[in-house]
């Protein structure tokens, strides 16, 4: 098979959701489709202890959560599916965001009983910033939830994206009858023990369905579907692929119901790996030379060996085991001696990989997040990974001032690795670290102590609203502890506003100061 055909078969996506919306359950059902696991309950080893792939650090064990994102891949109906897991705990980190730079589409799960929740909103913002196509699965229809029209309206209003319900539920919870499949012009019955049973629209007047059709839930949903047909958005694959419209599916990951139809439709619409921008122009996925970029570095996967693994998203060509590549940043040759592919239950050695695939390579402490590795004569780098504005801030100092060398080295390396973001106070140059999730601080503290033998003291500054300042010549007398002026790693001034209110107040008073929101600038 040619490189072109191989790349075209890849479908690489992440599932985003708020904890408890059903990500694990849905993933499990998908893995069942891929024949990767034989029974449900395998992935969720956080309780059973069976699934230990990401069980790499004490902190993780203590909290019983997955700090890092793992990758699963399986063949499905002629395609190669890669699912990138995003940590589901509220304490998620920048890794979660960065994972989204390595996927071609996203599945957003919404709990029908709750609607849009905080973490989904944050992750959605990053998808939007990158124009990633988003497919929505509204889960838990087997429970009493919110009205479907209400949920659709919420998605449109809160997330500012057009919705197109691919199917539409009749009833919910105990009264859940099934879905109107607008895409396939059929009604799919929700039956607990049988296979999903589809009835073409024109057969619904058959006497055997009389009872069901007469039900209030059925009639109400039928009216609402007619309303959507007349007044709702039109389906547009172009709008979906550019991230302006999201196809919405209703179902139950647990039953499972509606998952097969959802996944088949999603697979038929999800884009294969796209060409990527680089410093030497756009690189096609079927470019014969291998290239890829590092979106995540994970230290201490195996505490006994203290090794580090760099996660590479392949962007072009063919990856082969033990191949030699160049690190674009330094121009140096590197032999990729130990490469791994990630499967739900184990880490296997990968023999070959193509655009869209994710591989893990051994990192002898030379890689940085955002690095490009490639073969071929020409050196180029993929677009820099965006910097995600931290939300939480703490000052950091070394407990033992005698050990300032280890302290500096540790901070430098962890910052380079992207574990945490570093800022310095404008005048005093004291260190402030920023993170998108509280957990990053715990990991930082733990690793400073265990890897660099440096005990650190963290003091809370709290949640802040950061704005980068376009103008280098800044009058620092405008700022105080409330609206704190700091510098980022590159020396660019940043104001950490106490809250939105302070930010708006400042904007009113100083309309001439150019304040940049990274979410909008990226």
Q: Which stretch binds ligand G4P (CB under 6 A): 135-143, 179-187, 274-282, 403-411?
A: 135-143
Q: Which stretch binds ligand G4P (CB under 6 A): 117-125, 134-142, 456-464, 474-482?
A: 134-142
Considering the complex, state which of residue 20 and residue 203 has its C-beta at the smaller distance from ligand G4P.
20
88 in contact with ligand G4P (CB under 6 A): yes
Could you tell me how many residues of this chain bind ligand G4P (CB under 6 A)?
17
Contact yes or no for 120/444 (Cβ under 8 A) = no
292 is in an annotated binding site: no
- Candidates 83, 108, 127, 253: give the one binding ligand G4P (CB under 6 A): 253
Residue 296 tokens, joined: 């995540």
Instruction: Sort strands 352-354 and 392-398 into parallel, antiparallel or unpaired.
Output: unpaired
Considering the complex, state which of residue 190 and residue 506 has its C-beta at the smaller distance from ligand G4P.
190
Can you tell me whether residue 449 is helix, strand or coil? helix
Considering the complex, state which of residue 20 and residue 383 has its C-beta at the smaller distance from ligand G4P.
20
Q: Angle, to 10 degrees, between the axis of helix 148-159 and the axis of helix 216-231?
A: 30
Q: How far is the CB of 169 from ligand G4P (least distance, A)?
A: 12
Strand partners, 489: none
Chain residues 8-47 in contact with ligand G4P, contact rule CB under 6 A: 17, 19-25, 44
**Which residues in 332-344 are b (16+ Cβ under 10 Å) and which e?**
eebebeebbbbbb
254 in contact with ligand G4P (CB under 6 A): yes
243 in contact with ligand G4P (CB under 6 A): no
114 in contact with ligand G4P (CB under 6 A): no
Considering the complex, state which of residue 248 and residue 494 has its C-beta at the smaller distance from ligand G4P.
248
Contact yes or no for 148/258 (Cβ under 8 A) = no
65 in contact with ligand G4P (CB under 6 A): no
- Candidates 140, 182, 326, 464: give the one binding ligand G4P (CB under 6 A): 140
42 is in an annotated binding site: no
How far is the CA of 149 from the CAs of 152, 172, 265, 278, 471, in angstroms? 5, 13, 21, 42, 46
510 is in an annotated binding site: no
Query: Which residues contact residue 68 at a Cβ distance below 8 angstroms, ignoring those fewer than 6 apart?
Result: 54, 56, 60, 87, 95, 296, 298
Contact yes or no for 44/50 (Cβ under 8 A) = no
Can you tell me whether residue 309 is helix, strand or coil? strand
192 is in an annotated binding site: no
488 is in an annotated binding site: no
- Go through the chain and tell me how many residues it has: 522
Considering the complex, state which of residue 120 and residue 278 has its C-beta at the smaller distance from ligand G4P.
120
1 is in an annotated binding site: no
5 in contact with ligand G4P (CB under 6 A): no
101 in contact with ligand G4P (CB under 6 A): no
275 is in an annotated binding site: no
Considering the complex, state which of residue 44 and residue 347 has its C-beta at the smaller distance from ligand G4P.
44
Contact yes or no for 251/257 (Cβ under 8 A) = yes
Instruction: Sort strands 324-327 and 332-335 into parallel, antiparallel or unpaired.
Output: antiparallel
70 in contact with ligand G4P (CB under 6 A): no
23 is in an annotated binding site: yes
| 40 dihedral zone (left: phi>0; alpha: psi -120 to 50; beta) | beta
d(CA 224, CA 235): 17
Q: How far is the CB of 251 from ligand G4P (least distance, A)?
A: 7
Return binding residues for GTP: 17-24, 85-89, 139-142
Return binding residues: 17-24, 85-89, 139-142
Residues that bind ligand G4P (CB under 6 A): 17, 19-25, 44, 88, 139-140, 142-143, 252-254
């Amino acid at each position: 098979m040619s490189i072109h055909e191989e790349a075209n078969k890849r479908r690489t996506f992440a599932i985003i959701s708020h904890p408890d919306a059903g990500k694990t359950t849905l993933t499990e059902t998908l893995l069942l489709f891929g024949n990767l696991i034989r029974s449900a309950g395998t992935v969720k080893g956080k309780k059973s202890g069976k699934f230990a792939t990401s069980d790499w650090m004490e902190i993780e064990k203590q909290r019983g959560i997955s700090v890092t994102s793992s990758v699963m891949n399986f063949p499905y109906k002629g395609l190669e599916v890669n699912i990138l897991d995003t940590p589901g705990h509220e304490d998620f980190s920048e890794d979660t965001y960065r994972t989204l730079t390595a996927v071609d589409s996203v599945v957003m799960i919404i709990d029908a009983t709750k609607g849009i929740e905080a973490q989904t909103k944050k992750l959605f913002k990053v998808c939007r910033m990158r124009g990633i196509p988003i497919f929505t699965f509204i889960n838990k229809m087997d429970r009493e939830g919110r009205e479907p029209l209400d949920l659709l309206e919420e998605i449109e209003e809160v997330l500012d994206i057009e919705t197109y319900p691919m199917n539409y539920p009749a009833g919910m919870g105990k009264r859940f009858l099934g879905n109107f499949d607008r895409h396939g012009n059929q009604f799919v019955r929700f039956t607990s023990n049988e296979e999903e049973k589809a009835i073409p629209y024109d057969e619904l007047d058959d006497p055997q369905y009389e009872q069901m059709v007469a039900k209030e839930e059925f009639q109400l949903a039928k009216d609402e579907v007619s309303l959507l047909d007349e007044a709702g958005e039109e389906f547009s694959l172009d709008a979906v692929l550019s991230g302006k419209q999201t196809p919405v599916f209703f179902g139950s990951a647990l039953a499972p119901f509606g998952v097969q139809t959802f996944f088949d439709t999603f697979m038929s619409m999800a884009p294969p790996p796209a060409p990527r921008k680089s410093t030497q122009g756009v690189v096609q996925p079927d470019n014969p030379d291998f290239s890829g970029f590092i979106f995540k570095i994970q230290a201490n996967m195996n505490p006994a060996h203290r090794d580090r693994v760099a996660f590479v998203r392949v962007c072009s060509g063919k990856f082969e085991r033990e191949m030699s590549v160049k690190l674009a940043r330094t121009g140096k040759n590197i032999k990729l001696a130990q490469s791994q592919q990630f499967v739900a239950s184990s880490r296997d050695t990968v023999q070959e990989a193509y655009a869209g695939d994710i591989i893990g390579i051994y990192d002898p402490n030379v890689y940085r997040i955002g690095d490009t590795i490639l073969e071929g004569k020409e050196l180029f780098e993929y677009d820099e990974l965006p910097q995600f504005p931290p939300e939480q801030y703490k000052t950091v100092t070394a407990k033992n001032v005698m050990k300032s060398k280890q302290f500096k080295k540790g901070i430098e390396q962890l910052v380079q690795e992207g574990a945490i973001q570093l800022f310095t106070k404008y005048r005093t140059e004291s260190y402030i670290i920023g993170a998108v999730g509280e957990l990053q601080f715990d990991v930082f503290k733990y690793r400073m102590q265990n890897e660099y033998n440096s005990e650190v003291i963290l003091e809370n500054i709290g949640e802040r609203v950061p704005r980068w300042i376009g103008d280098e010549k800044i009058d620092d007398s405008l700022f105080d502890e409330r609206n704190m002026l700091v510098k980022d790693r590159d020396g660019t001034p940043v104001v950490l506003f106490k809250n939105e209110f302070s930010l708006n107040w400042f904007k009113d008073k100083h309309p001439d100061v150019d304040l940049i929101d990274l979410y909008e600038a990226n």
